Structure 1
Amino acid sequence: MSETRPPVIVTRAEPGGSQTAERLEAMGLTPLLSPALELAARGEAVPDLSGFGGLVFTSANGVRFFAEASDARTLPAWCVGPATASEALREGFSPVHESSGNAHDLAHYIAHHWSGESRSLLHIANAAAKGDLKKALEEAGFTVTFLPLYEARRAGSLNEEALGAIRSGTRTIVLIHSRKGAEAFLALANGLNLTKTEFVAISSQAAAPLETIATGGVYAAGHPDEDHLMACLEGVLANG
């Protein structure tokens, strides 16, 4: 573990964590997979889709869980960003509309690109998702039904490689993909010295829980997607 090429702990839940690890390996880095959260289906039933004019996905995981729960693929899929849209295309949804940004940006995108007759939407997401998207869309004249198909649960522990890297006292970087992921990581890392650990988060919102503790530094991507997260990481490495 050199000072210039520190290990990078990936806290993202699977299967996304492995995808992030592949990108890190392609950058010549050493990823240590240690998901802080585990995703689980909630057993919710998918409603009759005949009255809906479209599906709204705010994560690639939402696409995956819906694809497991339903064979429906012909309703327009409105996706929060490129990763979510790519997953929708892989699962066979058509047409797929891609926004760029957060839930507020997606609501604005839908409102300004809508051409369907029914303005009733089904939003598939994590059970802990905030109601910002629903509120913004309803203010724009849509009816939104929220379908929490899955939930994120805190992992039992960090893995031994990740713990070893943090305890080594040498420079270590942790990638954070969500606010809930940051909170889960801090709970799992309770009692550890994080003053040599730097955090690179996908957004300032995701980074917020980390601002209250002593760390080696907290950095947030300029835009909430994987490409900008990697760009932020590269900047941190270059300045290290």
Structure 2
Amino acid sequence: MHILLTRPLEDCSEMILKFQSLGHQVSHLPLIRIEKVNYEEINFSEYGGIVFTSANAVKFLNTERLDKNIKCFCVGNATENKARSIGFQNTIAAEGNVANLKELIIQSYDSKNKELLYVSGETISVNLDQQLLSEGFSVKRIINYRIDHNQKFDEKFVNELKLNMPEIVYVYSQNSASSFLNFIKIYQTENLWMNTNLMCIGEKTSSILNEIKWKKIFLFNPGEEEFLLYKI
């Protein structure tokens, strides 16, 4: 099976090797670049919990002065795995979306406790901090990374892709979906995806690509990529 992965290489290199080991052909089309943003110095002792809505937020946070036993709320398993990999001990994960994360925080964190620290990218799909504030929580949001859209792609790769379209493509965010739609239109491949299964994280991500005719559209959570192969 021909699989197209669209995340930055550092985020999908293990998956490329995994799929190749299973005998699949894997193509890589990085749609976005992740860049660190400088942020104000944080006095971690002021916070009773920390909230991450992406693994990138974990990656770009300087945690040298942070007690890794702090209660750590993660949007999903991939983010939790990243947090645990750098030493967080007291992690709790939602089921891959911000709505579930919000409910998890409401149920398991006393609003009378210390302020929550919410670490995120520059662009977010849901204003989690504002929603928690409306629920009576005290929240400080820190932005520590931004996403840039790739605009130029290797012409040889594009031509080879047109001749051998993938059976599956994985898209992980609304930003990636927007970049992918732009790629499709720039290279005039709108009519070439009818036999491709589109795998998206969330309905908002898939809705951006609804104007393209796909074989089928599947929604998934990080960690389910291999499982989805057997649904095709």
Name the TM-score, length of structure 2 as normaliser: 0.86
Partner residue, 1:235: 231
User: How many equivalent residue pairs?
Assistant: 226
What is the rounded CA distance, in whole Å, between the counterparts of 2:153 and 2:12 in structure 1? 14
Report the alpha carbon displacement of residue 118 of structure 1 after superposing the two structures with TM: 2.4
Q: Distance in 1 between matches of 2:206 and 2:73?
A: 26
Q: 1:29 to 1:169 in 2, by over 3 A?
A: closer
By how many angstroms is 1:113 displaced? 1.4
CA contact (8 A) 1:9 1:162 kept: no
Tell me, yes or no, if structure 1 residue 44 matches structure 2 residue 34.
Answer: no
Aligned to 1:139: 134
Q: What is the aligned partner in structure 2 of residue 75 from structure 1?
A: 70
Give the Cα separation in 1 of the matches to 2:87 and 2:207: 36
Cα–Cα, structure 1 residues 170 and 178, in superposed 2: closer, same or farther, change >3 Å? closer
Q: Sort the Cα spacing of 1:138 and 1:230 in 2 relative to 1 into closer, same or farther, 3 A.
A: farther
Cα distance in 2 for partners of 1:165, 1:50 equals 53
Equivalent residue runs for 1:169-208 within 5 Å: 170-189=165-184, 190-197=186-193, 198=196, 199-208=198-207
Q: Contact 1:175–1:201 (CA<8 Å) still a contact in 2?
A: yes
Instruction: Report the residue type matching 2:218 in the other structure.
Output: A
Q: Report whether the alignment pairs 1:111 with 2:109.
A: no
Aligned to 1:60: 55
Deviation at 1:45, TM superposition (A): 2.4
State the Cα distance separating 1:165 from its structure 2 match: 3.9
User: In the alignment, is the contact (CA less than 8 A) between 2:3 and 2:168 conserved in 1?
Assistant: yes
Cα displacement (A) at 1:52: 0.8
Residue identity matched to 1:32:
S
Deviation, 1:56, is: 0.3
The residue type equivalent to 2:44 in the other structure is L
Letter in 1 for 2:192: K
- Given that residues 99 and 106 in structure 1 are in contact (C-alpha distance below 8 angstroms), is that contact kept between their aligned partners in structure 2? yes
Q: Residue type matched to 1:110 in 2? A: I
Q: Give the corresponding residue for 1:94.
A: 89
Give the share of equivalent positions with the same residue, in percent: 21
What TM-score does the superposition give when structure 1 sets the normalisation length?
Answer: 0.84
Structure 1 residues without counterparts, runs of 5 or longer: none
Q: For the residues of structure 2 that align with 1:191 and 1:23, how far apart are their CA atoms?
A: 29
Give the residue type in structure 2 aligned to 1:102. N
Counterpart-to-counterpart distance in 1, 2:27 and 2:95: 28
Alpha carbon RMSD of aligned pairs, Å?
2.3
Residue matched to 1:220: 218
Deviation string for 1:80-122 (max 9, x for gaps)?
1111111111100121112213111001011111258624111
Q: Distance in 1 between matches of 2:211 and 2:24?
A: 28
Distance 1:46 1:220, change over 3 A: farther
